[in-house]
Amino acid sequence: MMSPRILLILVVSGLFAGCTGRDYSTLPSINEDHQVTMVVEIAAGTSVKIEYNQEKRAFLPDSIAGKVRVVDYLPYPLNYGFIPSTLQSTERGGDGDPLDVLLLGASLPTGTIIKVIPIAILRLKDEGEADEKILVIPADPSARVVQVDDFASLRMNYPSILSQLEVWFINYKGPGVITSSGWGDEAEAWAMILDCRIDQKKMVD
């Protein structure tokens, strides 16, 4: 009998391999309303690590040593994705990938494109490489599950969210892999986004 874990991997692999055609990685990062574009790779509440493959233009499960990567910890607590047209340069200590984003909101399917507002940044290092996570809320207030507008209101009204997220990221790859130097506010988050942009003249339609 097929285990639930293998069944989940097969379902996810088949589902997201079909999300092809569009080049999500080159979408404009910021629009004229000062909103950021987020592409969802991993839905909140799931455990399979999904990444967008630009060459194949598909969302595919990540793999380690030939095996699909499933988080051996609690499922992803938030929607996880990236900001298109950004790059954490290896020359500056980054991992060479687009900026990672965490969305405070209801679970969204892989491939969702949503306009968001940055409110914080979690400063992490993954095996010595800078791997910051930008925390965002939906630009549409009606889509927010947590009624906050900025880092100060989040820290004042929901401080446990910050601590729980930090604990999750420190532990989800196992002990000693990821270290954290804490949270920064929306100004620091914006500074990181602008520094990593590679589409300075583009705007979202």
- Residue tagged 């892999």 (tokens): 177
Residue 99 is given by DSSP the state: P
What is the band of 10 on the pLDDT scale with cuts at 50, 70, 90?
Answer: very low
Percent of the chain whose pLDDT exceeds 70: 86
User: What is the structure's pLDDT at 7?
Assistant: 40
What is the band of 144 on the pLDDT scale with cuts at 50, 70, 90?
Answer: very high
Domain borders along the chain are 4-196
Right CATH for 4-196 from 3.40.50.10860, 3.90.80.10, 1.10.20.10, 3.40.50.720: 3.90.80.10
Query: How many residues are recorded in the chain?
Result: 205
pLDDT at 21 over 80: no
The Cα 139–Cα 116 span in angstroms is 4
The dihedral over CA atoms of 137, 141, 145, 151, expressed in degrees to the nearest 10, equals 40
Tell me the average pLDDT across 132-145. 96
Token pair recorded at residue 33: 């309303």
The Cα 150–Cα 163 span in angstroms is 16
pLDDT at 74 over 70: yes
**DSSP helix/strand/coil, 132:** coil
User: Alpha helix (H) ranges present in 53-185?
Assistant: 151-157, 159-171
The Cα 15–Cα 60 span in angstroms is 9
pTM: 0.88
Residue 42 is given by DSSP the state: E
The Cα 176–Cα 90 span in angstroms is 22
Greater confidence, 204 or 115?
115
